[in-house]
Amino acid sequence: MSASQSNRFWTVFTLFLVAIIIAGSVLVWSRYRQHQPVEISIAKVAGETPFKLVSISGAVTRPGIYPLKPGDNIETLIQAAGGTASNADLSSLTLHIPAAGEERLPQKININRAEAWLLEALPGIGESRAKAITDYRRQKGPFRQASDISSVEGIGPSIYEQVKDLITVTD
């Protein structure tokens, strides 16, 4: 092998290694994005029951209200909700126990993450407006504040007034 062939081999080999390192770095970085926390709160139930109801939301497969029986732990509750989603951040688990008489506010919908079917549940937002929101997000990026939803075609001040207390934005 001549010196020029040897140099060419090492140049190609070095470029190949650099490409592998860059591809591996991109793959690792894409898996370590900011995760959504799991929130667990005890729902108030009228009357006496042998168990309490717990509201589980956030990065779980099936958010909802689940029974808390004696002996249950957080892992049992998360499994009842179908387990954690791939983007769950279990280092930031939130437990909220409301005070007597505390009003439970509705869970807000994150308009930067919600899929069209969830957006359709908002008052005044049907299938076409939900699609317009997801299209807007895809084309222009995430909303910076909840009021930015008014920039979406078909969503004016009156619809924003109906949904402003039901929506939020986060990264």
**pLDDT reported for residue 134:** 93
Last residue of a domain, one of 61, 96, 131: 96
**pLDDT reported for residue 8:** 84
Q: Which domain holds residue 139?
A: 109-168
Q: What is the mean pLDDT of each run of 10 residues along the chain (171 residues)?
A: 77 87 76 57 52 75 76 82 81 74 74 86 89 93 91 92 86 50
Query: In DSSP terms, which residues pair with 96 in a beta bridge?
Result: 41
> Tens of pLDDT along 70-85?
778 888 888 888 888 8
Distance in Å from the first CA to the final CA of the chain: 55
Question: Is-contact 64 87, C-beta < 8 A?
Answer: no
CATH of the domain at 158: 1.10.150.320
The answer to whether residue 102 sits within a structural domain is no
Domain count, the chain: 3
157 and 114 together in one domain: yes
**What whole-number distance in Å separates Cα of residue 160 and Cα of residue 124?**
9
Question: Is-contact 164 147, C-beta < 8 A?
Answer: yes
